[in-house]
Structure 1
């Protein structure tokens, strides 16, 4: 056994240690009781704010927080709300969208935070992810939003989310049909046990038939519409035999009612419609919940910027920007169009454009590309040199992914399973009728046999058990921090042979860390305190790396009386008792000296000095996701071919690949967004999964067979992917494949059970032995048996797997 295999075997043994905040397994390498820094930060806030009851209210494990975004956040969407509040007299109603509200404990926590403000009223709808605030004009809404987001939630202005989701409409239909089924069954049972004449018999017969008719009118359109859409696309999915079964069974029951004076199989038909609607509701509900966990992606329409008009900065849609417009960009803002930097130099992050994890300094007069993020602590002025239609942001955000695949496809089954089932239903019905006619020669008995075959071969058990299987699997994935947005993903996962990873933000956390935290040991306690007070006052990723390393050591005392000065593009400066401390590039901290050049040549990108004398030198590196090497090895053992596809320099990609054990021949760097899409197109897109997190991955994500992202901080990427995950490591990808494989096996077994049941039922029809009361027993019994098998086969027999 190789060294890698021994390491994987060792790490794959389940540990009992779970995160003290979310109760998910703690990855190897964490030295505290939390699975990630986000959970640690949020847990500390909860304790500090005396909100510990949150853990008592939460049922079961929570979801991991992941890495909380550092630096300022884009709050331009708050400006119109604040203006509206200030102009109001007495108060205003404000609607906000919430991301990350999972349970009643989340609702309680946000309501408790709100209750600590004076005045106002708050109502939260966790189903819609919507908060309604009724607040006075002096309410500090920006501070309230900051507090809520500090606990790991995300807030934005209310979008145009549907107030009545599709699942609610399906639940209403299912509820009505279940009530009709109950009434119809009571009337039919009376007939089965001997009621066969008189006015009560007529009432029972009419009630049973009317219940069946109303159930078909209410429920059948859902499946007829879906089946017709599939036929128009050349796809015959399972909704076709369901719709056909409802229609033909109703015709047979109507013949029995109007011609024969009976009410055969109407109760079975009503139950069938109700169960099919219940199954469709189960299938729709989880997907809607997963989609609503994210803030709405408003695309370009939701992208705002500040245009300088006279002595004011007006908030305008980015789509209105024209060449020559002066713009004000605040820390954390996205640059909407290519522009020229006016005034002093500034630092920008380009990881969403080219995958470069380290910010770059742009001097005054330099070009700032579209899609860059300002990471400096002060706002800057830029002048647009292009319109939004010509920008890279426009090209990446203007198009939404519209798949034409079969969204009703079932994992592990042929795409046109519905067509095969229709042929079987029609053949069974005709064959039963012919056999009965040849044996008995009775036309009425022949039609009853055909009707019975149509009713009993309806995919009732299959139609309820399979949606339940999808519900169970997606619920298990949600608990592990994996959210599926498209139901057809499970069907497509079986075809995936290649997985292409972006580097920055996907294989890595997107954050920098100290390459060797032990270098801090050479500093005295007072020097580490001064270093923290310098690093904590900057949003620059390199400074954040030092601040985070010191926080992990428990050395995070911030002295608010100190005043640090940031020199754009160079570093930070702080004066204490006449001594000048600096943190930044070597030439800034030590001056233009030979020692400074040597430190820079040795890979030290941050130098800490006192009066230009060296105190400490530090190198930063990209932070790889926890247990990433083990997870990638597991995927390779499962037969997946792994690639790295990044816009960052290939040399950096090779360093990451070497650490993760990915062959250099499958590492590709320096790829622009269009190059990434072309790469996917040229390397078997029909068997490729793409995992990315930035704007530069958007086209490649749309090109691949299926796509996923760990990025939920901005909804641009997640809303274009088939799934997203929020756990700190890459374990969700392997978990998704394993659950999809198990789901496919369960669905195939459910189909086998349905085939055996239908063969038995059709045999009874052909022999002329099928009776309405027997059908009323057989169909629910087969459904209960199939559901029981589905639940047993998909249950989690032990704690969730982790590497």
Structure 2
């Protein structure tokens, strides 16, 4: 076992998120800062652990107390803090200060802070259309109630005055894409909407001038309002899909301390680092570019590469990938590649290609729209020509054609998909599943293969001591006293299991950590070691050494005293989830960066025959691509940084909330509970939602088939057409609400409660 000494401001938590710190953090803070005038510079930090007013007070007090800090202000909603500091005083130790009070932090990504202008535009357009529709409808009710001719004409002019700015402002959401489509020589769903609304307004304005009894300003504006509801809901669901590339790029170091040719040191941005340059890598820093260790020994968090949280010991000659985290001791390394050719850059390219491929997926509503617009245009134009020929009255012909356009307006079609997705997203959220991409629900309904990562997905991703009887209490107390001096995951697991006496450290005369080996202490003439078996007790035989578990031993003067085995317990509901997936005909596969014996043991216990081990991120993405090329629809479930390319490449992806930030960003779904049964639940709800979407589309088609002939024969006025159109929208909404009951209502929490009664025991999963 390796003793991991945490530097202030550095976290080695199970989600593998580095928060800065290290010897060069001041240079990194300066590189990321901006000049705000008056001799001040400002940094924005992301502090994800803040959640209440007490956190605000602690963070602001800790930062304002630093020398050189002019002010620190917290934005709890965005979980960010802005720190202004005096340039003459140099960058303050921001990460150290936050680390001392227990808050993770990293330099904030300004790109993630920008508001969504499209959503703002839609909400404003929706508010304007809703306000105007209500007022025009009140005026129309007065007219229908028997207003005299003079009052009727006045109300018509007021309605026209209200409707015109609404069409110009709210209608542009549809008018602009419609015009762009027409300019390119084709039609989309916005074209019949735009034509119907504009013609309804112009005809109503013409009839108002002519003092006619009926006008249809209310129909035009209400039509816009209903359509904007569907468009806004659709955008709200789409915007949850976030690119993983920005989050992954944030894992890279902004710069590094480089030893120059004359022996001096200079902090250089990562873009200026060239192969052959010597870099001083402090404890707590990420490797800036692919490199090889020149001197020093340390432990490296390689979760970005392998997905495993257990640190890897490195020494001279070992290769380091960009983005991996130096945990326990300074290293001197030599760059072997530029930033653009590094491992981290390769991962960014993999994700970029995968996301571009996924973007080619055409949603159900988009496919329906491609068929819908030509049919509606043809029907309306044919109606106009027929009535012009029959009646010889262009006003009558236009009125009937407008009624056809309005009654066949794709309100129901526009709401059919987003309303089901909104209801499904709410249903999934109630069961602990966050939907980030509405289109992913359509894809999830069709998956036939699920690939699971191992550590942190099928298992909880945190080492746990295997209990066994017969341990000497004195030996256990000695091991825990040593473990309390370290932040290594195995040390923390020992302390968590047995507890530590704060006074026990005084029993040791000296304590030293040896990176890659373990922790050593002197007790009188004795040397006590807790760590790797071959270091703490060379030559000692371990009876159960071949069971595949990770081990650390306690030894006195090289003599074995006690052995501790650590496993990774299964996530609740694993056996039930796999059973439910298989019952639906879904193939199961396990892919892991862990060693083969550990993966094989887990797969055997779960009854999964398809598995692979020692898999790198690019290999995971390649396997997903191979399955997709064979016609399979793949759901990837993973939590770690090394899973991100595969998450992006899969048809659908899912990640636990306990996973790395970048993994959650890349995933289409995030499950918030420990139980893995949420995976099966998400599939069941998505398939139910897909069935309701098909029903809604069928209802929309049936509605058009029934009402189009009535409108074309002249039996429907534009006002009645608008009311019928609204009724069809209400119908598809009511059908979507059926998702709140019926199939898929099985509670995943119940599965979590019974998880311990079925499948493997946690101790078996760890082996």
For the aligned pair, the TM-score class normalised by the smaller chain equals: 0.7 to 0.9
2:157 and 2:574 map into 1 onto residues whose CA distance is 65
2:746 and 2:641 map into 1 onto residues whose CA distance is 39
8 Å Cα contact 1:235/1:416 also seen in 2: no
Aligned to 1:340: 292
Q: What is the Cα deviation at residue 123 of structure 1?
A: 4.4
Query: Superposition pairs for residues 7-18 of structure 1, below 5 Å?
Result: none
Decide whether aligned partners of structure 1 residues 676 and 535 sit closer, same or farther in structure 2, where only a CA change above 3 A counts: same
8 Å Cα contact 1:355/1:647 also seen in 2: yes
Pairing 1:110–2:63 present: no
Decide whether aligned partners of structure 1 residues 162 and 207 sit closer, same or farther in structure 2, where only a CA change above 3 A counts: farther
2:142 and 2:496 map into 1 onto residues whose CA distance is 74
Aligned to 1:41: none
2:278 and 2:685 map into 1 onto residues whose CA distance is 52
Q: What is the Cα deviation at residue 176 of structure 1?
A: 1.6
Query: Superposition pairs for residues 674-689 of structure 1, below 5 Å?
Result: 674-685=618-629, 686=631, 687-689=633-635
Aligned to 2:5: none
Q: How many residues align?
A: 713
Question: Out of 79, 89, 96, which is 2:26 matched to?
Answer: 79
Query: Superposition pairs for residues 406-417 of structure 1, below 5 Å?
Result: 410=363, 413=364, 415-417=366-368
Q: TM-score, normalised by structure 2?
A: 0.80
8 Å Cα contact 2:678/2:748 also seen in 1: no
Query: Superposition pairs for residues 207-226 of structure 1, below 5 Å?
Result: 207-223=158-174
Pairing 1:548–2:486 present: no
Query: Superposition pairs for residues 645-794 of structure 1, below 5 Å?
Result: 645-663=591-609, 666-685=610-629, 686=631, 687-694=633-640, 696-710=642-656, 714-794=660-740
1:258 and 1:479 map into 2 onto residues whose CA distance is 52
1:762 and 1:624 map into 2 onto residues whose CA distance is 58
8 Å Cα contact 1:72/1:331 also seen in 2: no
8 Å Cα contact 1:502/1:691 also seen in 2: yes
Kindly provide the CA deviation profile for residues 638-673 of structure 1, in whole angstroms up to 9, marking residues without a partner as x: 21111123344433321121122211xx12234444
Query: Superposition pairs for residues 115-514 of structure 1, below 5 Å?
Result: 117=62, 122-124=73-75, 126=77, 128=78, 130-132=80-82, 141-142=94-95, 145-146=98-99, 150=103, 155-161=106-112, 163-165=114-116, 166-195=118-147, 197-198=149-150, 200-223=151-174, 240-258=188-206, 261=210, 262=212, 264-288=215-239, 291=242, 297=247, 299=249, 303-309=253-259, 315-355=267-307, 358-375=310-327, 377-398=328-349, 400=352, 401-403=354-356, 410=363, 413=364, 415-430=366-381, 433=384, 442-464=393-415, 466-478=417-429, 480-514=431-465
Aligned to 2:754: none
Question: Out of 623, 638, 641, which is 2:587 matched to?
Answer: 641
Aligned to 1:23: none
Decide whether aligned partners of structure 1 residues 146 and 177 sit closer, same or farther in structure 2, where only a CA change above 3 A counts: farther
Gapped runs of 5+ residues in structure 1? Answer: 1-65
Pairing 1:96–2:45 present: yes
**Range with bigger deviation, 493-502 or 553-562:** 553-562
SS in structure 2 opposite 1:378?
coil
Q: What is the Cα deviation at residue 784 of structure 1?
A: 3.7
2:505 and 2:93 map into 1 onto residues whose CA distance is 23
SS in structure 1 opposite 2:462?
strand
**Range with bigger deviation, 478-487 or 224-233:** 224-233
SS in structure 2 opposite 1:606?
strand
Decide whether aligned partners of structure 1 residues 167 and 349 sit closer, same or farther in structure 2, where only a CA change above 3 A counts: same
Aligned to 1:533: 481
Q: What is the Cα deviation at residue 326 of structure 1?
A: 2.2
8 Å Cα contact 1:513/1:622 also seen in 2: yes
Pairing 1:629–2:598 present: no
Decide whether aligned partners of structure 1 residues 267 and 244 sit closer, same or farther in structure 2, where only a CA change above 3 A counts: same
**Range with bigger deviation, 636-645 or 700-709:** 700-709
2:35 and 2:191 map into 1 onto residues whose CA distance is 56
8 Å Cα contact 2:179/2:191 also seen in 1: no
Q: What is the Cα deviation at residue 323 of structure 1?
A: 1.7
Question: Out of 607, 612, 623, which is 2:558 matched to?
Answer: 612
Kindly provide the CA deviation profile for residues 11-59 of structure 1, in whole angstroms up to 9, marking residues without a partner as x: xxxxxxxxxxxxxxxxxxxxxxxxxxxxxxxxxxxxxxxxxxxxxxxxx
Decide whether aligned partners of structure 1 residues 202 and 668 sit closer, same or farther in structure 2, where only a CA change above 3 A counts: same
Aligned to 2:468: 518
2:625 and 2:160 map into 1 onto residues whose CA distance is 56
8 Å Cα contact 1:351/1:504 also seen in 2: no
1:210 and 1:789 map into 2 onto residues whose CA distance is 37
SS in structure 2 opposite 1:518?
coil
Say what the alpha-carbon RMSD is for the aligned residues. Answer: 4.2
Q: What is the Cα deviation at residue 171 of structure 1?
A: 1.0
Q: What is the Cα deviation at residue 100 of structure 1?
A: 7.2
SS in structure 1 opposite 2:280?
strand
Q: What is the Cα deviation at residue 419 of structure 1?
A: 2.6
Decide whether aligned partners of structure 1 residues 130 and 168 sit closer, same or farther in structure 2, where only a CA change above 3 A counts: farther
SS in structure 1 opposite 2:674?
coil
2:157 and 2:183 map into 1 onto residues whose CA distance is 38
Gapped runs of 5+ residues in structure 2? Answer: 1-11, 66-70, 752-767
SS in structure 2 opposite 1:614?
strand
SS in structure 1 opposite 2:588?
strand
2:54 and 2:416 map into 1 onto residues whose CA distance is 36
Decide whether aligned partners of structure 1 residues 365 and 426 sit closer, same or farther in structure 2, where only a CA change above 3 A counts: closer
Q: What is the Cα deviation at residue 728 of structure 1?
A: 3.0
8 Å Cα contact 1:305/1:327 also seen in 2: no
1:569 and 1:96 map into 2 onto residues whose CA distance is 32
Kindly provide the CA deviation profile for residues 51-100 of structure 1, in whole angstroms up to 9, marking residues without a partner as x: xxxxxxxxxxxxxxx98547974347963586679999998754333547
Aligned to 2:757: none
Decide whether aligned partners of structure 1 residues 251 and 234 sit closer, same or farther in structure 2, where only a CA change above 3 A counts: closer
Aligned to 1:586: 533
Q: What is the Cα deviation at residue 607 of structure 1?
A: 1.0
Decide whether aligned partners of structure 1 residues 749 and 186 sit closer, same or farther in structure 2, where only a CA change above 3 A counts: same
